[in-house]
Structure 1
């Protein structure tokens, strides 16, 4: 096994230059892993390394359907997935939130759902799993603060449709299916409005 430093160097090369059959991650996710809000590409900087490696494996084996990422993830070896995940985990998240202009009523509804949930609809507070500031908790619950709203909405739709089914015990699928389109837009807008938080990279 290479040292963390060597893994970061190998991961940096993949991220910035790509490799055989793999385009550079930075072409979509940004030079510093900040994502692309307009295109709906997620932030990778500061996410939990093991979580990212698991997601690459899920996209390679089809438990997380993503037509763009699947061939890229499949072309990476397990070692390379770990290397590039370690590299992005080491980067500092962007300080500016990517959210656009959203009306206060929508943001208020989103904050309520995120912090208190809606128990009449069987929806728990998002922060009970993803952390009080959406910073993520360990491997299972990623940082969602400062992620593009479009990206977060697309993931909710993926759980609703079943095209993504790699969540622990089907938890996100069950929550997603209880969210209306309006509530999905509200809660993702609220998380997108927050400054990005680095994940706890310790299991």
Structure 2
């Protein structure tokens, strides 16, 4: 497994084999890969395939989920380890990539104007307009993700729980950015804004 570059074989991956492997993932991430908030598992469908491959590689290599305070990340390390090799990672991601982005009907109370302003000032340059993700910046899609998941990841970056491994260069970038939203209200408003996108 090469961590210095994300595999380019996604297009040649076998989504049907990936579907069989995804059965294990569905218990937490849902059959449609739309995520299950009660399981603390984010939506995967609609996420960039290179990002998903990188995160699975990071979990398998102990780059993500290595902090003892990250119980959910450690749980995901164990799950990623069930993917035997790089082909299995690519196949499961090919299957996830074949699924439609899930519709989100959840809403929360937030100040839309403040959320949009704070997002554009602090997050939009990397994560793209409306949180749709930015492949050229290796920044994942945030739009429509569960606010509790996003808040936990933002907090994990800010506390050094996520992104502190020397081989996680994008995580280290995000650690620096995780101080941009300085109040709980701003964080909540950005989460609400992203949920609405």
Alignment correspondent of 1:108: 113
What is the root-mean-square deviation in Å for CA atoms of aligned residues? Answer: 2.3
Distance between the aligned counterparts of 1:74 and 1:189, measured in 2? Answer: 33
Contact conserved, 1:29 with 1:43, CA < 8 A, in 2?
A: yes
Q: Does 1:71 align with 2:78?
A: yes
Residue 2 (structure 1) shift: 8.7
Residue 152 (structure 1) shift: 0.7
Matches within 5 A, 1:135-146: 135-138=132-135, 140-146=138-144
Aligned residues: 176
Contact conserved, 2:10 with 2:49, CA < 8 A, in 1?
A: no
Closer, same or farther in 2 for the Cα pair 1:178/1:146, shift >3 Å? same
Runs (4+) of structure 1 moved beyond 4 Å?
1-6
Residue 94 (structure 1) shift: 1.3
Task: Give the unaligned 5+ runs of structure 1.
Answer: 17-23, 118-123, 195-203
Distance between the aligned counterparts of 2:113 and 2:39, measured in 1? Answer: 25
Contact conserved, 2:131 with 2:194, CA < 8 A, in 1?
A: yes
Contact conserved, 1:63 with 1:163, CA < 8 A, in 2?
A: no
How high is the TM-score relative to the length of structure 1?
Answer: 0.78
The answer to which structure has the higher helix fraction is 2
Residue 97 (structure 1) shift: 4.2
Greater alpha carbon shift after TM alignment, 169-178 vs 39-48: 169-178
Alignment correspondent of 1:36: 36
